[in-house]
Amino acid sequence: MSGADVASAAQARGLDAAAGELGVSTAALMALAGFQAARLVDSVLGGGAPVVVLAGPGNNGADALDCARHLALWGYPVRALTLVTAAAMSPVYAAEASAARASGVALGEAGDAPGEAVVRALTGAALAVDGLLGTGSHGAPRAAIADAIERLSRASLPVLAVDLPSGLDADTGAHPGACIRASQTLMLAAAKRGCLEEQARAQVGELWLADIGVPGEAYGRAGLRPPLFGPQGLGPYPGPARG
């Protein structure tokens, strides 16, 4: 694949909206996002090792649950922990949770003691998938999400961040509070500006870019040029050096 324009947080949201207008639903984007994240986990681990997925309340969390579903179907022991109650899930999020459970994922809710739940979930894991916060997040993470990030950071596990490390600003790369320090960051559909900033270097780890089925015309509507993805649709980010 080749590099193209780098997306701001607003452009990333516009890209998703334009995809929907052109017939590619949020659920379809999530399905491919989860599949690509699972492929990257598999390339890192090589099969069979236990994986923990931490899913926040937004679409980033639903992407992570879809990743969990694929990994479970491929024979990975997968535990997923949601930081949102079933009653508060959006319909598309609830559908991803249901599909994950039906695919063999051990799915639970963080409940009233999220930090303790995260520690229990991480026990024995070989890798964690970070789906706590997405590009719509601004400022320092709060409450349960901040606690979950801190607990994951203390675990010294390899972390694959979906789209960007939780706690990192998608526009500036700033991380004023708790922030995931990822081993790999899988940017979805377009490179995120914040991930390329010098101050984000230690947080993002190795950068990857994945095709998730966004139509070419959607990029234009969002003010971006589409990447030229190869047949695999997944590879190391080939853009300019960070900073």
Which range (44-48, 52-56, 165-169) has the least confidence?
44-48
In a domain, 234, yes or no: no
Q: What is the CATH number of the domain that holds 134?
A: 3.40.50.10260
In a domain, 201, yes or no: yes
In a domain, 236, yes or no: no
Segment 155-170, tens digit of pLDDT: 889 999 999 999 999 9
Q: In three state form, how does the secondary structure of 62-122 look?
A: HHHHHHHHHHHHCCCCEEEEECCCHHHCCHHHHHHHHHHHHCCCEEEECCCCHHHHHHHHH
In a domain, 53, yes or no: yes
At 240, give phi and psi (nearest 5°): -65, 160
Segment 105-134, tens digit of pLDDT: 999 998 878 888 999 999 999 999 999 999
In a domain, 52, yes or no: yes
In a domain, 233, yes or no: no
- Please give the full DSSP string across the chain, using - where no structure is assigned: -B--PEEPHHHHHHHHHHHHHTT--HHHHHHHHHHHHHHHHHHHH-S---EEEEE-SSHHHHHHHHHHHHHHHTT--EEEEESS-GGG--HHHHHHHHHHHHTT-EEEE-TT-HHHHHHHHHTT-SEEEEES--TT--SS--HHHHHHHHHHHHTT--EEEESS-TT--TTT----S-----SEEEEESSEEGGGGSGGGHHHH-EEEEE-----HHHHHHTT-PPPB--TT-EEE--SSPP-
pLDDT score of 54:
97
Q: Which domain holds residue 209?
A: 6-228
Q: Please determine, for residue 4, whether its predicted confidence score (pLDDT) is greater than 90.
A: no
**Mean pLDDT in the chain?**
92
First to last CA, the chain: 21
Q: Give me the number of domains the chain comprises.
A: 1
In a domain, 80, yes or no: yes
pLDDT score of 195:
96
C-alpha closest to that of 188 among 148, 229, 132: 229
Segment 173-223, tens digit of pLDDT: 999 899 999 999 999 999 999 999 999 999 999 999 999 999 999 999 999
In a domain, 1, yes or no: no
